[in-house]
Structures are given as structure tokens and as C-alpha cells.
């Protein structure tokens, strides 16, 4: 009788239903793990030979054959087979076809359970390194732009209402701080990814004399896992990564929202490069900020993947269950979405054009220096609550007369408080307002320039 998979068909009396074979196969998506599967297999074969489980000739034949299989895959000579279920059996079948029965010895001392857990960790470790390189590239772009715009004044907002003047450079460095934490989260996550499950076998370990520490060394893992049951059954490292990815996308989405607003005719603070925008099929004047809009939209799919993985794991008994086949597509799509979004931003940010006059004009509206007037009165000896009331009355008068505080005459201002003198106009200017915030973390231009130097040093010292 013909079986759909010779790796396990001996126990079965009938062939797997064709639909079930296709439904349960993972080769359609886990084939992207072929390099990591082969890398893990080479290390496993090397360790088995060192432990005397394989002969030297068998090890050499297996490694040579695996490298040939990889070359065949990359040249398109291998057709992935649903009948072989997954990347592991496809690779092993191709190996056995090349070197004969010796290829069947490769699976000694391991299971597909610890094999896939290893492959995913190898793949994710590589993905984290790539994503952090993209975060670094984006941060460098933000820091460079922030340095250029250290003195460019714009309105700072709370509740999307004009609050106080800030500099555009200071605003960009706020984005950089978000990304700095994102980078650090991925670095920390990588520590828990970089632990080797290979050797746990199906769930209980193996009776063969293996050296898991040696396999970990060969594959660049920090150490082997400590419990075989946990090794094959949990995917918390993938969930942790997706959580970190969701936070990255949340930050990129917030940036996107501001870019979309700023590029609108109503704000007109920035100009996005044409190559990152599209037009309208019926409105020839349109220049749509599609890249930031799409990044904002893609954030939802990563949130969904996080919830999917959490739900996947929540009711599984120890140890491995077929449910875990469903971990890869959410994880892979999270990686792809992050990589694309970060690349788009890292490519786009260096070419943002700040419309400085428009930013400054907007900052001059909405009584953005009202807090400066209150601080001025406090320094003259008025309690802050009283100063707050005085400024509130001044603002009300300004609204009534259609004038900003800086446009009111000294006599008009003095009608609200006799403590106000001619020097008040020094603090009511936009430049005076931002310059007054001259402390660590403040928006003063010299503080922004200093912050750029510190931020660049932090990025430059990364390993």
C-alpha cells in the first residue's frame, strides 16, 4: 500500500486522505526555513560524528550532500512536495536521493519537534539582526535631520491643540527615543531566542550519546535549553518578538499619522518625496502620502498576529501539538511587515523637506507662548495659580481682539497685571520661548544639538 509520507507511514493501515495531506502540510510556508534547516542539520551531523554516533565518512557525505541540496534549492532544481509535508522531510528526501541510505542516519537523536524549534530560532535570530540594522539606519536619518532642524520652530501639541513652541529637531528626536527603546527590546528578546532546543528530540530527550553544548557552540547559540518538554512545546520567544514588533509598528504608526497630517494642505509643514507618494485617478492635484498611510494600516495586522500567537498557545498541554504549525505564518508576516515598514521609513526620512516658514507661522497662532507669560509672572513673585488666571484673561482679550499675546501692547498687557514690564516681549517671542527650555531633554536649540551628539554616540557604539 502506498503511503503519503514514508517517514511515519509504517503504523498506518491506509493512506492519508489527499485533502488531509494538503491541509496538514506546512511546506507552502515553512520552505523559507531551508537554509536554517540545513545549517542546523550540518551542526547536528558534526556533533553526532564527534560523539561517535556517525562515522567520519558518514558525516562528510551528509554535509557534502546537504550543501548540494541547498545549491539545488537556490537554483530552483528542487520542487517542494506536499506529500513530504514540511521543509525537514523535503530536505531529508533530497539528501537521501543524493547520498543513499546514509542520508537517513541524519535524523538520529532528534525529532522534527526540536528541529523546527531550532529552525525558527535560527531564522528569528537572523531577522532580529536585520530589523535592528534597519532601526539603526532610520535612527541615523532622524538624528541627521534633527541636527539640521535644531532651530526650526513649530507648534507643539497636546490634544492636537497648539500648546507650546518646540523645535522640529526636538520633535524628531522624540521619534528617535521611541526607536531606541524598540532597538533595546529586540536586543533583549534576542537573548531568549538564542537558546538551543536541539537535542530535546520529540519531548523527552534521546538515548544516544549527544553533546548539546557542542551543537549550541557550532550554531552560535548561547546555551542549550534546560528542559526537553519546554524546549519543543513553547513559542513564547516568538510571542515576545511579535509583541516587540507590535510596539515598533505602533511607533511607526504614530509617526505616520503626523506625517500624513503635516503633509496635508491644512498643516503644510512638510513635503514628502514624490517617489513615496501616489496620485489620484480622477483628481490631478492630489499627492497622497501612501507610504505612511500604508504603514499605519499595516500596524493592525501585526497586532492581529500577536493576538493570534497568544491564542494559539493558551490552551496547549505539554508537549508539542500540531497547533504549533500555525505559529509560522503570523511570525513570518510580522517579520516581513516590520522589514518593509522600517525600510520605507529609513529610505523616506532623509528626504523630508521641512517648510520652516509654515511651521513658524503655525507656532505663532493659538497663543503658544501663554505658559511663558505665566512663568514670567511667577518669576516676578505672583503665585502660579494667580498667574494662570491673569494669562487666561489676557488670552481671552487676545481672542476678542484677534491678536496674539506678542501682538498686544505693553499697556494692554499691564491692564491684566502691573508686574508686567517691557522685558515681557523677550519671553513672548517664539525664539525666546524655545531658548528658555535650556535643560537636559528640553527643546532649546543648543540642547537639541547636544542631544543629537549623544544619540549619535549611542547608535555608533552598537555591536
Our CA dihedral for 424, 425, 428, 432, rounded to 10 degrees, sits at -100
Reading the block at residue 162, the C-alpha cell is 497648539
Structure confidence by residue, pLDDT tens digits, 46-67: 999 999 999 999 999 999 999 9
Structural domains of the chain sorted by starting position, each given as residue range(s) with its CATH number in brackets? 16-108 (1.10.275.10), 113-205+223-361 (1.20.200.10), 364-460 (1.10.40.30)
DSSP string, 403-451: --GGGS-HHHHHTT-TT--TTHHHHHSHHHHHHH--STT---HHHHHHH
Closest CA to 219 of 193, 249, 201, 182: 193
Reading the block at residue 413, the C-alpha cell is 498687557
pLDDT of 277 reads 85
Q: How far apart are CA 354 and CA 172, in angstroms?
A: 12
Q: How far apart are CA 167 and CA 356, in angstroms?
A: 10
Q: Can you name the residues that pair with 270 across neighbouring β-strands? A: 354
> Region 137-165: what's the mean pLDDT?
97
Q: How far apart are CA 166 and CA 259, in angstroms?
A: 17
pTM above the 0.75 mark?
Answer: yes
Q: How far apart are CA 68 and CA 232, in angstroms?
A: 29
pLDDT of 2 reads 41
Q: Which of 2, 75, 159, 315 is catalytic?
A: 159
Segment (H or E) for 167: strand 161-167
Reading the block at residue 339, the C-alpha cell is 522589514
Q: How far apart are CA 168 and CA 148, in angstroms?
A: 9
Q: How far apart are CA 22 and CA 45, in angstroms?
A: 30
Which alpha helices (DSSP H) does 164-266 contain, by range?
Answer: 168-193, 212-219, 228-233, 236-263
Report whether 65 contacts 98 (CB < 8 A): yes
Instruction: Dihedral sign for Cα 381, 386, 388, 393, please.
Output: negative
Q: How confident is the model at residue 462 (pLDDT cuts 50, 70, 90)?
A: confident
5-19, 79-93, 338-352, 410-424: least confident range: 5-19
- Please, which residues have CB within 8 angstroms of residue 432's CB and are 6 or more apart in sequence? 372, 426
Q: How confident is the model at residue 12 (pLDDT cuts 50, 70, 90)?
A: low
> Region 281-299: what's the mean pLDDT?
89
Q: Which of 6, 280, 450, 454 is catalytic?
A: 280
Q: Can you name the residues that pair with 356 across neighbouring β-strands? A: none
pLDDT at 13 > cutoff 70 = no
Reading the block at residue 28, the C-alpha cell is 507552502
Reading the block at residue 22, the C-alpha cell is 494538503
pLDDT of 5 reads 54
- For 303-433, strand residue ranges (E) read 353-354
Q: How far apart are CA 111 and CA 88, in angstroms?
A: 10
- Please, which residues have CB within 8 angstroms of residue 164's CB and are 6 or more apart in sequence? 155, 156, 368, 369, 371, 372, 433
Q: How far apart are CA 445 and CA 458, in angstroms?
A: 20
Q: How confident is the model at residue 14 (pLDDT cuts 50, 70, 90)?
A: low
Reading the block at residue 333, the C-alpha cell is 508576516
Helix (H, G, I), strand (E, B) or coil at 346: helix
pLDDT of 22 reads 84
- Please, which residues have CB within 8 angstroms of residue 213's CB and are 6 or more apart in sequence? 223, 224
Annotated active-site residue 159? The verdict is: yes
For residue 183, which phi and psi values (nearest 5 degrees)? Answer: -60, -50
> Region 390-395: what's the mean pLDDT?
93
Q: How far apart are CA 46 and CA 305, in angstroms?
A: 36
Amino acid at each position: 500500500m502506498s503511503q503519503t509520507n514514508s517517514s511515519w507511514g509504517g503504523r498506518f493501515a491506509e493512506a492519508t486522505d489527499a485533502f488531509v495531506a494538503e491541509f496538514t502540510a506546512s511546506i507552502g510556508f515553512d520552505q523559507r526555513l531551508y537554509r536554517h534547516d540545513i545549517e542546523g542539520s550540518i551542526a547536528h551531523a558534526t556533533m553526532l560524528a564527534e560523539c561517535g554516533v556517525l562515522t567520519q565518512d558518514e558525516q562528510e557525505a551528509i554535509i557534502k550532500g546537504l550543501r548540494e541540496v541547498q545549491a539545488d534549492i537556490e537554483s530552483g532544481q528542487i520542487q517542494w512536495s506536499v506529500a513530504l509535508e514540511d521543509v525537514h522531510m523535503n530536505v531529508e528526501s533530497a539528501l537521501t536521493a543524493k547520498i543513499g541510505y546514509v542520508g537517513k542516519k541524519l535524523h538520529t537523536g532528534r525529532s522534527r519537534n526540536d528541529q523546527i524549534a531550532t529552525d525558527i530560532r535560527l531564522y528569528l535570530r537572523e531577522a532580529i539582526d536585520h530589523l535592528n540594522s534597519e532601526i539603526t539606519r532610520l535612527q541615523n536619518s532622524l538624528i541627521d535631520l534633527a541636527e539640521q532642524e535644531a532651530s526650526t520652530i513649530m507648534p507643539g501639541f497636546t490634544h492636537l491643540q497648539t500648546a507650546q513652541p518646540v523645535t522640529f529637531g526636538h520633535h524628531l528626536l522624540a521619534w528617535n527615543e521611541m526607536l531606541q527603546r524598540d532597538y533595546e527590546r529586540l536586543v533583549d528578546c534576542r537573548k531568549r531566542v538564542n537558546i538551543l532546543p536541539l537535542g530535546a528530540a520529540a519531548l523527552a530527550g534521546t538515548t544516544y550519546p549527544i553533546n548539546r553544548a557542542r551543537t549550541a557552540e557550532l550554531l552560535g547559540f548561547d546555551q542549550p535549553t534546560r528542559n526537553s518538554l519546554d524546549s519543543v512545546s513553547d513559542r513564547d520567544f516568538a510571542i515576545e518578538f511579535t509583541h516587540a514588533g507590535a510596539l515598533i509598528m505602533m511607533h511607526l504608526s504614530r509617526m505616520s499619522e503626523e506625517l500624513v497630517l503635516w503633509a496635508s494642505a491644512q498643516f503644510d509643514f512638510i513635503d514628502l518625496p514624490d517617489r513615496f507618494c501616489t496620485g489620484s485617478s480622477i483628481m490631478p492635484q492630489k499627492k497622497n502620502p501612501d507610504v505612511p498611510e500604508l504603514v499605519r494600516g499595516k500596524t493592525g495586522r501585526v497586532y492581529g498576529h500577536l493576538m493570534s500567537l497568544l491564542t494559539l498557545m493558551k490552551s496547549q498541554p505539554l508537549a508539542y501539538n500540531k497547533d504549533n504549525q500555525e505559529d509560522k505564518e503570523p511570525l513570518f508576516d510580522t517579520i516581513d511587515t516590520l522589514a518593509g515598514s522600517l525600510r520605507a521609513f529609513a529610505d523616506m526620512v532623509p528626504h523630508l523637506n521641512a517648510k520652516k516658514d509654515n511651521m513658524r507661522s503655525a507656532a505663532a497662532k493659538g497663543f503658544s507662548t501663554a505658559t511663558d507669560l505665566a512663568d514670567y509672572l511667577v518669576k516676578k513673585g505672583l503665585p502660579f495659580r494667580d498667574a494662570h488666571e491673569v494669562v487666561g484673561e489676557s488670552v481671552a482679550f487676545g481672542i476678542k481682539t484677534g491678536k496674539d499675546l506678542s501682538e498686544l501692547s505693553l499697556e494692554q498687557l499691564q491692564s491684566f497685571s502691573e508686574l508686567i514690564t517691557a522685558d515681557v516681549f523677550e519671553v513672548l517671542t517664539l525664539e525666546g520661548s524655545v531658548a528658555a527650555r535650556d535643560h537636559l531633554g528640553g527643546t532649546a536649540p543648543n540642547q537639541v544639538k547636544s542631544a543629537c551628539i549623544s544619540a549619535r554616540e549611542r547608535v555608533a557604539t552598537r555591536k
